[in-house]
């Protein structure tokens, strides 16, 4: 595909309308970051300080996505309540800006989305598609649907396929682990030591999950934001971050785990639930689960 993404078309599949709308909005979101790097003076439902761009990107996506026929619900990391538009077909959950603390230092960030065919909060098994935009030196989108992952380059309103049917490379290369090291559990620390001790493996950690997971998709490896002492569910949110990432990495032939099972099997209790997140090549996730057993 190398075409301008269309305006939402009532005749089109709502999933494709959602994806086209997010892809088309990416250039504008990127541009709108300028001048919105300061604190917004409020906290999100997870108790984190919002930056102006978090609030602005959430409002932009809420306006656009709720106006699409077939979208029943919009929910975001940056707002407490679901916007409920009725009993239409799909529910969209968004992390409008993932890694927004990187705005201050001007490092990588992203937008993450999950499209569910059940009312939110929903388990990852209800996802029908997910993806992310990465605001790197260029803007790219990784998108998973029907067990297949496609990577695009986005320029203005256009998207161009870079690669189809993406799978994680067989020889995993990179690793990145979040959370303060003194707060890691001993079993997790041991596992990390083992990964680090292989001279083939390289540390890649940028403070935005999406940048680090995109490294795993590109080079193979593992990214985790684990359970921590004092934070048994880690930091990342199940609906907005854990499920969409797990769905895409599993579609790319990798595995996800909350420590003992696929993240897609975790039943949510609350919209803003957190989940310990580990994603990457199956061999790494298998070893991780053995280590945490």
Ligand X SMILES: O=P(O)(O)OC[C@H]1O[C@](O)(COP(=O)(O)O)[C@@H](O)[C@@H]1O
**Binding region:** 77, 95, 97-101, 205, 235, 241
The dihedral of CA 19, 25, 31, 36: what is its sign?
negative
Smallest CA-to-CA distance from 227 within 278, 263, 261, 190 is with 278
Residue 51 or 195: which CB sits closer to Mg ion? 51
| Window of 99-107, 257-265, 268-276, 285-293 that interacts with ligand X by CB under 6 A | 99-107
Instruction: Determine, following the binding rule CB under 6 A, whether residue 48 of this chain makes contact with ligand X.
Output: yes
Contact between 95 and 240 (Cβ < 8 Å): yes
Question: What residues from 56 to 95 belong to the interface with ligand X (CB under 6 A)?
Answer: 77, 95
Residue 119 or 207: which CB sits closer to ligand X? 207
Q: How far is the CB of 95 from ligand X (least distance, A)?
A: 5
Instruction: Determine, following the binding rule CB under 6 A, whether residue 208 of this chain makes contact with ligand X.
Output: yes
CA distances from 94 to 101, 162, 172, 175 (A): 17, 24, 29, 25
- Of 209, 224, 238, 245, which lies in the binding site for ligand X, with binding defined by CB under 6 A? 209
Instruction: Determine, following the binding rule CB under 6 A, whether residue 221 of this chain makes contact with ligand X.
Output: no
Instruction: Determine, following the binding rule CB under 6 A, whether residue 188 of this chain makes contact with ligand X.
Output: no
Phi, psi of 275 (to 5 degrees): -150, 135
Binding residue numbers for substrate: 98-101, 205, 235
CA distances from 193 to 93, 223, 277 (A): 35, 14, 18
Instruction: Determine, following the binding rule CB under 5 A, whether residue 95 of this chain makes contact with Mg ion.
Output: yes
Distance from C-alpha of 125 to C-alpha of 263, rounded to nearest angstrom: 9
Distance from C-alpha of 247 to C-alpha of 125, rounded to nearest angstrom: 8
Tokens of 253: 């032939």
Q: How far is the CB of 255 from Mg ion (least distance, A)?
A: 21
Quickly count: other Cβ atoms within 10 Å of residue 230's Cβ. Answer: 8
Q: Which does 276 bind (CB under 5 to 8 A by kind): ligand X, Mg ion, none?
A: none
- Of 178, 221, 244, 268, which lies in the binding site for ligand X, with binding defined by CB under 6 A? 178
Q: What is the DSSP string of 151-170?
A: EEEEETTEEEEEESS----S
Binding residue numbers for Mg(2+): 77, 95, 97-98, 241
Instruction: Determine, following the binding rule CB under 6 A, whether residue 124 of this chain makes contact with ligand X.
Output: no
Instruction: Determine, following the binding rule CB under 6 A, whether residue 244 of this chain makes contact with ligand X.
Output: no
Interacting residues with Mg ion (CB under 5 A): 77, 95, 97-98, 241
């Amino acid at each position: 595909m190398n075409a301008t993404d269309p305006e939402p078309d009532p005749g089109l599949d709502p999933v494709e309308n959602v994806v086209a709308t997010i892809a088309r909005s990416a250039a504008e979101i990127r541009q709108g970051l300028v001048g919105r790097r300061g604190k917004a003076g409020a906290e999100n439902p997870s108790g984190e300080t919002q930056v102006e761009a978090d609030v602005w990107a959430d409002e932009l996506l809420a306006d656009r996505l709720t106006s699409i026929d077939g979208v029943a619900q919009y929910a975001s990391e940056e707002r407490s309540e679901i916007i409920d538009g009725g009993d239409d077909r799909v529910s969209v959950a968004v992390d409008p800006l993932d890694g927004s603390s990187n705005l201050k230092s001007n490092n990588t960030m992203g937008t993450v989305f999950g499209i569910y065919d059940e009312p939110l909060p929903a388990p990852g098994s209800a996802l029908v598609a997910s993806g992310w935009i990465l605001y790197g030196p260029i803007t790219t989108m990784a998108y998973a649907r029907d067990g297949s992952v496609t990577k695009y380059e986005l320029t203005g309103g256009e998207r161009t396929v870079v690669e189809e049917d993406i799978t994680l490379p067989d020889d995993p290369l990179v690793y990145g682990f979040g959370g303060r090291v003194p707060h890691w559990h001993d079993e997790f620390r041991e596992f990390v030591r083992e990964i680090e001790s292989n001279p083939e493996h390289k540390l890649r950690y940028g403070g935005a999950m999406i940048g680090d997971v995109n490294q795993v998709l590109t080079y193979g490896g593992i990214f985790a934001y684990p359970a921590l002492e004092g934070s048994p569910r880690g930091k990342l949110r199940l609906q907005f971050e854990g499920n969409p990432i797990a769905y895409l990495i599993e579609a790319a032939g990798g595995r996800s785990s909350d420590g003992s099972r696929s993240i897609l099997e975790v039943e949510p209790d609350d919209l803003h639930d957190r989940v310990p997140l580990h994603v990457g090549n199956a061999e790494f996730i298998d070893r991780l689960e053995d280590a945490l057993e």
